């Protein structure tokens, strides 16, 4: 392990020496790197899918759409727009004879930590804006997805010189060794608890951070919506990747008189999507990542049932497969209503007064996302104006992350910063303000501002009245 830690130190120093060369690369040079990354990812897609299935049985379709295509789409967005994003932005100057510009320059040495639930996408998606902004990077894939980690190492080592982009596998010891180094910017995706550790480490070196965390993302359903149309959207978001998505709907608020109809549609969706002849189709259901998380979900379910909740469907555990589950009559004091579920369990809560729902949401840490289903603009505006979340989608779930012109990220407990599209370019850039003053001559204002000051204060006070 000592040699491995020495290698981290060596690469860090190598990148420190090389970062000024990378900083001066043109848009065309950065785009070329991204295009090469795109081609290699497409070439290795079968191996990537195989790795994701080995790590936690991710369905091949989900592996391609949510992991591979997400990275490809982000690359395409940068290739299309990077020239424009890198251009200095001229702004009005209030200094006579001067011009002012904002120049985007790279933050420098960046550290990127991936999470295990989307171990490929969450490693390479932030790498794209880091490269686009002209940084050097060290990547740390999740040790909880070892097969995906290995194919990621293969891709990085085949494509990049370690003086520009390097990757180190390992667990907590490697993560701590990396956090000891004076990076300029750190991006971490994972739990709020570990995010606090990362932020504390960054503070030692005054490094900026991007923290993509999580939270209990609520769904509010208004009385007048068409449940037949909206339930598939909600259920897809809840059960894709077996609920192991930071943006997944965590729990549902619906009017009492609509609850049973809602549950019927959810049960119908589960049967149509995941069962064949009454048997769960294991190929289309992602596994829970490990035994520890299976046990965590069991404990949440058992605690809720012990407190009076009813399992309306699911609740079955087969190895690392957790059947899609619906709960009703869940007390607010149950653990499942206190912790982020991060699994395929859907608590369905009822309400009579929207203000009570808003009060409950505001009593918890600010979620990564909030979802409102309503055709009533007053209801939508009321919820948006009286709550806070990292982002929101109206009449769907999770879709705001797919809109490249919207910033994506959390707020406070659910995260800090944004990193998709142009917001990612800005996140990995330092916006340097530059004033160009005329080199020849002086004006009256310059002369007035200089010493000696005798008699000038009275003139100044007259001017600002």
pLDDT tens for residues 63-73? 999 999 999 99
pLDDT at 445: 74
pLDDT digits (tens, 9 = 90+) for 201-235: 999 999 999 999 989 999 999 998 999 999 999 99
**At residue 443, does pLDDT exceed 70?**
no
For residue 352 the two structure tokens come to: 């009579």
- The full DSSP string for 340-370 is ---SSEEEEEEES-HHHHHHHHHTSPPPSEE
What's this model's pTM, rounded to 2 decimal places?
A: 0.95
Of 89-98, 169-178, 244-253, the one with minimum mean pLDDT is 89-98
Q: Residues 6 or more apart from 212 whose CB is under 8 A from it?
A: 115, 122, 187, 188, 189, 190, 246, 409, 410, 415, 417, 419
pLDDT digits (tens, 9 = 90+) for 276-295: 999 999 999 999 999 999 99
Cα-only R_g, the chain: 26
Rounded distance between C-alpha atoms, residue 113 and residue 172, angstroms: 12
pLDDT at 442: 59
151-166 mean pLDDT:
98
> φ, ψ for residue 274 (rounded to 5)?
-120, -5
pLDDT at 449: 84
Whole-number average pLDDT of the chain: 96
pLDDT digits (tens, 9 = 90+) for 312-338: 999 999 999 999 999 999 999 999 999
**At residue 465, does pLDDT exceed 80?**
no
pLDDT at 96: 80
- Structural domains of the chain sorted by starting position, each given as residue range(s) with its CATH number in brackets: 2-213+414-433 (3.40.605.10), 218-409 (3.40.309.10)
SS3 assignment, position 101: strand
**At residue 55, does pLDDT exceed 80?**
yes
| Catalytic residue ranges | 212, 246
**At residue 1, does pLDDT exceed 80?**
no
Asked if 211 and 417 count as a contact pair (C-beta separation under 8 A), the reply is: yes
Rounded distance between C-alpha atoms, residue 190 and residue 342, angstroms: 12
| Range list of H helices, 116-226 | 121-132, 146-159, 172-179, 192-204
**At residue 419, does pLDDT exceed 90?**
no
For residue 222 the two structure tokens come to: 């208004």
Helix then strand then coil, % of the chain, to nearest 5: 50, 20, 30
371-391 mean pLDDT:
97
Of 11-20, 94-103, 238-247, 343-352, the one with minimum mean pLDDT is 94-103
């Amino acid at each position: 392990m000592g040699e491995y830690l020495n290698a981290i130190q060596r690469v860090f120093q190598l990148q420190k020496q090389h970062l000024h060369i990378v900083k001066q690369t043109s848009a065309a040079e950065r785009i070329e790197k991204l295009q090469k990354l795109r081609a290699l990812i497409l070439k290795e897609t079968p191996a990537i899918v195989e790795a994701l299935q080995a790590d936690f049985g991710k369905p091949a379709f989900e592996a391609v759409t949510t992991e591979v295509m997400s990275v490809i789409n982000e690359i395409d967005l940068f290739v299309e727009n990077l020239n424009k994003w890198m251009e200095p932005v001229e702004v009005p100057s209030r200094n006579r004879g001067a011009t002012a510009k904002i120049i985007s320059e790279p933050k420098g040495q960046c550290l990127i930590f991936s999470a295990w639930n989307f171990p490929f996408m969450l490693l390479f998606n932030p790498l794209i804006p880091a490269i686009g902004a002209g940084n050097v990077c060290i990547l740390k894939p999740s040790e909880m997805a070892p097969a995906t980690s290995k194919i990621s190492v293969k891709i990085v080592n085949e494509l990049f010189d370690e003086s520009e982009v390097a990757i180190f596998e390992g667990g907590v010891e490697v993560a701590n060794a990396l956090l000891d180094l004076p990076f300029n910017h750190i991006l971490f995706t994972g739990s709020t608890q570990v995010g606090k550790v990362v932020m504390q480490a960054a503070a030692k070196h005054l490094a900026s951070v991007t923290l993509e965390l999580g939270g209990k993302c609520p769904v509010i359903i208004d009385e007048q919506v068409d449940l037949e149309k909206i339930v598939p959207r909600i259920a897809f978001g809840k059960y894709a990747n077996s609920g192991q998505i930071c943006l997944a709907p965590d729990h549902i608020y619906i009017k009492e008189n609509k609850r049973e109809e809602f549950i019927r549609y959810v049960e119908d969706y589960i049967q149509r999507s995941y069962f064949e002849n009454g048997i769960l189709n294991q190929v289309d259901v992602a596994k829970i990542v490990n035994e520890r998380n299976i046990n965590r979900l069991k404990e949440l379910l058992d605690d809720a049932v012990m407190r009076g909740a009813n399992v309306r469907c699911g609740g079955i555990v087969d190895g690392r497969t957790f059947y899609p589950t619906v709960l009703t009559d869940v007390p607010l004091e149950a653990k499942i209503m206190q912790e982020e579920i991060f699994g395929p369990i859907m608590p369905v809560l009822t309400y009579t007064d929207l203000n009570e729902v808003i009060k409950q949401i505001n009593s918890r840490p600010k979620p990564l996302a909030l979802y409102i289903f309503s055709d009533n603009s007053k209801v939508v505006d009321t919820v948006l104006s009286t709550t806070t979340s990292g982002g929101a989608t109206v009449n769907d779930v999770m879709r705001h992350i797919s809109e490249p012109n919207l910033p994506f990220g959390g707020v406070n407990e659910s995260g800090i910063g944004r990193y998709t599209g142009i917001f990612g370019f800005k996140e990995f850039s330092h916006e340097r303000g530059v004033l160009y003053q005329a080199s020849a001559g002086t004006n009256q204002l310059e002369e007035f501002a200089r010493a000696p000051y005798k008699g000038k204060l009275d003139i100044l006070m007259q001017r600002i009245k």
